[in-house]
Structure 1
Amino acid sequence: MARTALRTAVAGLALAVPLAAGCDADVGLSESGSPPPAGAGSPGGAGPGPGDEARARADLSGLRIASEGDGDGYERDKFGTRWKDIDRNGCDQRNDVLARDLADVGKRGGCVVMTGSLRDPYTGKEITFAKKDAAEVQIDHLYPLALAWRMGASRWSEDRREEFANDHGNLLAVWGVPNRQKSDSGPGEWKPQKSFQCAYAIKYIAVAGKYSLPVTRADHDALQDFLGRC
C-alpha cells in the first residue's frame, strides 16, 4: 500500500518529527485519585507465562482474515473519553498504565504518576519519565484505534469503542519515538525489537480475540513469525 511505502520513507526522520495528529498515540494528562493496580515496572503487566504461546497460536488460527477498509469517517473522538476510568478503581487509565509499566514510580496522591523509569519494550531504551515532559513516554494501543476502525470497529457501538480504547490489555507505556513510527500500523508493517516480539504477539492476539477483530493476511503471518521467538 502507498501508506506503507510512505511510512518506510519517513521512519528515519522520527526523531525530528513531532507527534502528528494522525498518530495513534495518546499523551493526555488526565488525573484522578486512588491507588493504581499492582505490577509496576512490568511492561503490559506480567510477561508471557507457561502455555501462553500455545494458547496464542490456537487463538491466532481462529482469527478471521480480512482486508482493511478505507478508514472513512475515522476520528479519535469516536472512541470515547480518553483515559476513562472504565475499571472504576478511581484512577484514570493513563495513570494506571504508567504505574503498571514504569519502575521507581513517584506519585502525587494516590494515582498521579509524576516520575519513574521505563525500559521501552519496543526498543530496549531506558527512558526517564517526568510529568513535566510527559510526551517522552506515551501510551500506545497495541491494536491501533485507526486500524481497528478499518477492520470493523466503525460498526461498533460508541460504548464498545470506548471500552476498547481504554482496555488495559490493549495499552502499553512506550517511548514516544517508536510509537510515532508505529502510528496506526499492524504487525505486518511495523515490528518491535526481537526480544519483545513474542510478548507483543501474545498481547495483540488476545486483544483481537477479545473484540472479535479480524487481522490482515500480512498481520497474521507476522504474528505467527513473532510467536516463533517465544
Structure 2
Amino acid sequence: MSTTWAAYRRGRRQSRQAWVLLIVLIAGALGGVAWFFTVGQFAVAEAPGNGPTEAPVFDPSWMRPVEPVQPVPVDSAVDALETLPVKGRAVKDNYDRNEFGQAWLDVDRNGCDTRNDILRRDLTAAEFTAGSKCRVASGELREPYVGQDIHFRRGSESSSAVQIDHVVALGDAWQKGAQQLTAKQRQSLANDPLNLIAVDGAANVKKSASDAASWLPANKGFRCHYVARQISVKAAYRLWVTQAEKDAMKRVLDSCPGQQTIRAME
C-alpha cells in the first residue's frame, strides 16, 4: 500500500511539473506576441540592412590626398569627439555655396573632377564614357545610407539616382566653424574624399544640411562609421558640434565603443 501511495504522490508531482512547464511556455509565447505587436515589429523593421558598414576613403593608385587644416587624430571616435568644442550654431543667413569654391573642382590635381573621383572610388564595375579616363558612365553602388544596391547610369534622367553627399554638410559646417576658415581651406573641405560618399539620391535630399541630431542613415549598420567620419572631418577642419549633436553621436557610439576615427590614407 505504501508503494501505491508513493507512486500516486510521484505521479501528482510529475503532473504539477508538467502543468508549470506548460504555463511557462504559454506565458512566453504570449509575451513574444505582445512584444512583436508593441515594439518588436518596429525593431524588426529597423534592423540593419544589407548595405556596407563602412565606406572607402582613398585609393593612392590614382587619387592624391587633399590637405586638411590639421591631421585627423589617431584615436577612438569617442575620445576624438571629446576634443571637439561644443557651441551653438552661428548664423546661416549669410551662407553661400560659393564660399566653398566651385563645385567639384579637381582639387587634388589628378586630372579628374571630384564628383567623378568619388564615383570611381565608390562604384564597382565602373565604366567610363568613350575616350575618357575620368567621366564615369555607369557602375554598381553598394549604397551605405539605405543599404540597397543601386545601378548608376549617367544621363539627364538617371544621374540623380546616385549623388555625392558631404558627410558633414557644407551648410552645417558653415554654422560650426567654417566661416573662420580660409577660402582654400573651405575648398578643401568641400572636395576632401574623407567628407564625400556616393549615396542614394533620395536619402541625400532628405538629409539636406542635417547634423547627427536630426538625421542618421536608415541603415543602422552604417551609423558607427558615419558618425566616426563626421567626427573625423570636424576634427580635421576645426569645426565644432552642438550639445544635441554630441549627445546623438555618443548614443550611436555606445553601440560600438571600439570604433576608431576615419583617416583618408587608410
- TM bin (shorter chain): 0.7 to 0.9
Q: CA deviation at 1:73?
A: 0.9
Tell me, yes or no, if the aligned pair for 1:43 and 1:102 is still in contact at 8 Å.
Answer: no
Stretch moving more, 206-215 or 104-113: 104-113
Rounded Cα–Cα distance in structure 2 between residues aligned with 1:229 and 1:61: 17
Provide the C-alpha distance between the structure 1 equivalents of 2:180 and 2:234, rounded to a whole number of angstroms.
15
Q: Give the residue type in structure 1 aligned to 2:118.
A: V
Residues 1:78 and 2:106 aligned together: no
Query: For each residue in 1:41-85, what CA deviation from the matched residue of structure 2 results, as whole angstroms up to 9, or x when unmatched?
Result: x73437xxxxx9952111111010111122021011111011111
| Residue number among 144, 150, 156 corresponding to 1:121 in the alignment | 144
Distance 2:134 2:142 in 1: 21
Q: Deviations over 1:192-211 (max 9, x none)?
A: 12100111011111100000
CA distance in 2, matches of 1:169, 1:44: 9
1:43 aligned partner: 55
Match in the other structure for 2:119: 98
Structure-2 residue corresponding to 1:222: 248
Asked if 1:198 corresponds to 2:224, the answer is yes
Q: Provide the rounded CA distance (Å) in 2 between the counterparts of 1:53 and 1:130.
A: 37
Instruction: Please give the alpha-carbon distance, in whole angstroms, between the structure 2 residues aligned to 1:80 and 1:161.
Output: 7
Paired residue type of 1:78: E
2:197 aligns with one of 172, 185, 188: 172
What CA RMSD, in Å, does the superposition of the two structures yield over aligned residues?
1.7
Looking at CA atoms only, which structure, 1 or 2, has the larger radius of gyration? Answer: 2
**What is the alpha-carbon distance in structure 2 between the residues aligned to residue 91 and residue 189 of structure 1?**
34
What amino acid sits opposite 1:227 in the alignment? L
Off by >6 Å, runs of 4+ in structure 1: none
User: What is the Cα deviation at residue 161 of structure 1?
Assistant: 1.1
Aligned residue number for residue 143 of structure 1: 168
Letter in 2 for 1:43: A
Match of 2:184 in 1: 159
SS of 2:93's equivalent in the other structure is coil
| Alignment partners' CA distance in 1, 2:57 and 2:193 | 9
Amino acid across the alignment from 2:241? V
Q: For 2:199, what is the secondary structure of its paired residue?
A: strand
**Partner Cα distance (1:53, 1:110) in 2:** 34
Identical aligned residues as a percent: 40
The TM-score, its normalising length taken from structure 2, stands at 0.66
Does residue 110 (structure 1) correspond to residue 122 (structure 2)? The answer is: no
Q: Which range is displaced more, 149-158 or 160-169?
A: 149-158
Matched residue, 2:13: none
Unaligned stretches of 5+ residues in structure 2: 1-53, 59-72, 257-266
- Post-superposition Cα deviations, 1:131-184, rounded to whole Å, max 9, x if no partner, equal 111111000001010111111212322111111111110001001111111000
Task: Name the structure 1 match of 2:85.
Answer: 64
